[in-house]
Amino acid sequence: VADSIEVLSQGMPVEMNFDVLIVDEIQDIASGDSMDFLEFLIETASAPKLRFFGDPEYQKLYFNQSGSRDSLLQRFPLLVPFHLWSNCRNRPEFENLIEGLCDFKGLYKRFRLPSAGPIMNYATYRNESEKIPQMEGALEALLRDFLPGEIVVLGEELFIERRSFSQSLAGRFYESDEIVVERTKILSTTVRKFKGLEAKAVLIHDFNASMDTELLYAAITRAIEKIVFIGRAEETMLVASKLLPR
């Protein structure tokens, strides 16, 4: 994040300041030099308008952001916090999934989308040689209901390279750095790189019970309609079987 801001500031004319500043995922930059840079952008405005959007409670993925909300209010004391109680992305069935896997309760009061039946499935493998075949089976099942561009494969830290799959599937993939607005293929990337985006169907590979809850929450909430977990049998079944019979 700091590197991105440095690049942006270097390419910006010194005299360029703004009257309105809108920042998404503000919790990711709500500290240190980043706040100095935001202040620089509005320092000449007589009455700057600030609109910050973020989730400092449940999606702190990049560094120690435990005080990000307080840092914002100290730096910009006139900010008025509002809580987003309406879920605008996920089906209502995701609420039980989030509570069961992340232990985050009472996040939403309403959902924009209607209920649409089961949203979760899972597959397990006993060793690495079984992982890709299980993923291929899960992807083939998703492709019966969704277009390739509506599917995303997410990993905790690593993404699965397209060459790992059979020839028929490999040609349907983008890889980690090929995130585009109009996707026509399945995207394989990491949770952090896909944070803030969405897909109708999400497959999370290498799922495990010790996965960071905020990272898992970010991964789950990328999915609009369907989510599939794939992980080692002993860990995945321990968690997933509590939520959905195989």
Query: For the segment 140-187, what is each residue's pLDDT rounded down to a tens digit?
Result: 999 999 999 999 999 988 888 888 999 989 889 887 665 565 678 899
Quote the CA–CA distance of 186 and 205 in Å, as a whole number. 14
pLDDT at 245: 44
pLDDT at 59: 83
Q: Which residues of the chain have pLDDT under 50?
A: 1, 245-246
Q: What is the model's pTM? A: 0.82
To which H or E segment does residue 99 belong? helix 94-102
pLDDT at 65: 54
The half-sphere exposure of 49 on its side-chain side, counting CA atoms within 13 A, is 3
Among 162, 207, 206, 205, CA closest to 186: 162
